[in-house]
């Protein structure tokens, strides 16, 4: 890089190097008074936090079954407003966050199409984010570019009226709340089988460009004896940064292109689609997807109590007939997203203490 000449260039360099620091150095900046404030990377979560969040999500789920419980929840955060800034396509993450807000009585505003925001008039990303923060109490954001949520959180930490930032998917990099709902789904599924510790978890598909599997890998350091199996076409293998992290935390992983060989050893198979939107020259088309798909023949090789997950939307990699199989967990997984995201919002705003006021049964 060229030597910075002006003060602006020096500031930018400082700013860039601040954003480039490892997650463990940045984590304290995502907290305030010991409470989580910004949700940016899955690597920032600890075991006690994950367990507490799962407990809160369980409570919200139970309370939502009765009118009395729903009335209680809707009165928890009616004084808070959320901005949903989703400039990249989203169905589940958007709807589950929107409904999580509504369950807790929060009101929501949204921008889903950047052509309707002042960014088309040339307003900078920073100014847009700062503007949102003038009107709401939390910014939930999904962008096509990596690193934007981290940038927004950094910006918030330097202004007089900061609001929390939640990363709802940043490019092909991170999707921390997806990792939370995936962990919650694994925990619930293995509740009577010793929890997540010691399980063999397969991840299949476009592991190179899929942010969900990346974020989930960064959470695995919280569990003992987990082994990972990456099943991917060679050109879409898991990225070196994730592998380096797994090595650092001594989490064993095995890479293969043979689903049939991997299947019998798995306790969970996390299936993902080809991320074709990142293709520059139709790279995905060269993949024989039938080798990275699951249907009736593959089900016979999978353990009877294994589970099948998928962040959705699905492509051809899971045959719809699999939906009938009791091991198919993806529809429950998608609903878990709403409970877990409501739990995150409660934690951010400190509403979880109120749960002691009510019996969920």
Residues that bind ligand NCD (CB under 6 A): 92-93, 169, 175, 178, 210-212, 272-273, 311-312
Residue 272 a catalytic site member: no
Peptide bond into 18 cis (omega under 30): no
Residue 303 a catalytic site member: no
Residue 93 a catalytic site member: yes
Catalytic residue from among 37, 80, 175, 208: 175
Tokens found for residue 355: 């749960």
Element (H, E) at 340: helix 330-349
**Residue nearer to ligand NCD on the CB measure, 92 or 227:** 92
Which of 355, 288, 342 minimizes the C-alpha distance to 138?
342
- Residue with the CB atom nearest ligand NCD in the bound state: 311
**Residue nearer to ligand NCD on the CB measure, 169 or 176:** 169
Nearest distance, CB of residue 94 and ligand NCD, angstroms: 9
DSSP H helical segments within 75-221, as ranges? 92-103, 125-135, 148-156, 176-189, 211-219
Nearest distance, CB of residue 298 and ligand NCD, angstroms: 20
What is the distance between the alpha carbons of residues 326 and 306, in angstroms, rounded to a whole number?
10
What is the distance between the alpha carbons of residues 210 and 207, in angstroms, rounded to a whole number?
5
**Residue nearer to ligand NCD on the CB measure, 94 or 349:** 94
Residue 91 a catalytic site member: no
**SS3 assignment, position 110:** strand
What is the distance between the alpha carbons of residues 59 and 358, in angstroms, rounded to a whole number?
10
What is the distance between the alpha carbons of residues 86 and 184, in angstroms, rounded to a whole number?
24
Nearest distance, CB of residue 235 and ligand NCD, angstroms: 17
Nearest distance, CB of residue 206 and ligand NCD, angstroms: 8
**SS3 assignment, position 116:** helix
Catalytic residue from among 37, 130, 142, 211: 142
Residue 175 a catalytic site member: yes
Catalytic residue from among 3, 5, 121, 161: 121
Nearest distance, CB of residue 197 and ligand NCD, angstroms: 26
**Residue nearer to ligand NCD on the CB measure, 133 or 172:** 172
**Residue nearer to ligand NCD on the CB measure, 77 or 271:** 271
What is the distance between the alpha carbons of residues 265 and 286, in angstroms, rounded to a whole number?
28
Residues with catalytic roles: 92-93, 121, 142, 175
């Amino acid at each position: 890089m060229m030597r910075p000449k002006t003060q602006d260039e020096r500031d930018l360099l400082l700013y860039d190097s601040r954003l480039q620091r490892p997650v463990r150095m940045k984590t304290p900046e995502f907290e305030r008074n010991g409470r989580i404030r910004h949700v940016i990377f899955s690597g920032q979560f600890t075991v006690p936090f994950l367990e507490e969040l799962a407990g809160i999500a369980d409570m919200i789920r139970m309370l939502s079954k009765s009118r009395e419980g729903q009335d209680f929840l809707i009165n928890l955060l009616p004084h808070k407003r959320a901005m949903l800034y989703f400039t990249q396509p989203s169905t589940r993450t958007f709807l589950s966050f929107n409904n999580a807000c509504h369950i807790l009585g929060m009101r929501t505003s949204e921008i889903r199409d950047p052509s309707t925001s002042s960014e088309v008039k040339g307003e900078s990303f920073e100014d847009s984010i700062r503007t949102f923060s003038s009107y709401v109490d939390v910014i939930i954001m999904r962008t096509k570019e990596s690193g934007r949520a981290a940038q927004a959180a950094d910006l918030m930490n330097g202004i007089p009226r900061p609001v929390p930032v939640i990363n709802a998917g940043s490019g092909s990099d991170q999707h921390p709340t997806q990792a939370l709902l995936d962990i919650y789904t694994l925990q619930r599924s293995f509740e009577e089988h010793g929890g997540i510790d010691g399980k063999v978890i397969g991840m299949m598909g476009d592991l190179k460009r899929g942010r969900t599997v990346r974020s989930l890998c960064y959470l695995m350091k919280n569990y003992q004896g987990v082994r990972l199996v990456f099943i991917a076409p060679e050109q879409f293998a898991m990225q070196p940064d994730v592998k380096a992290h797994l090595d650092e935390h001594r989490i064993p992983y095995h890479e293969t292109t043979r689903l049939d060989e991997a299947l019998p050893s798995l306790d969970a198979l996390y299936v993902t689609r080809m991320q074709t939107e990142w293709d520059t020259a139709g790279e995905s088309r060269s993949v024989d997807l039938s080798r990275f798909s699951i249907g009736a023949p593959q089900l016979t090789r999978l353990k009877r109590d294994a589970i099948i997950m998928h962040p959705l939307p699905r492509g051809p990699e899971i045959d719809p007939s699999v939906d009938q199989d009791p091991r198919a967990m993806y529809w429950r997984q998608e609903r878990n997203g709403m409970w877990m995201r409501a739990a995150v919002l409660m934690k951010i705003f400190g509403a979880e203490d109120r749960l002691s006021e009510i019996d969920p049964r």
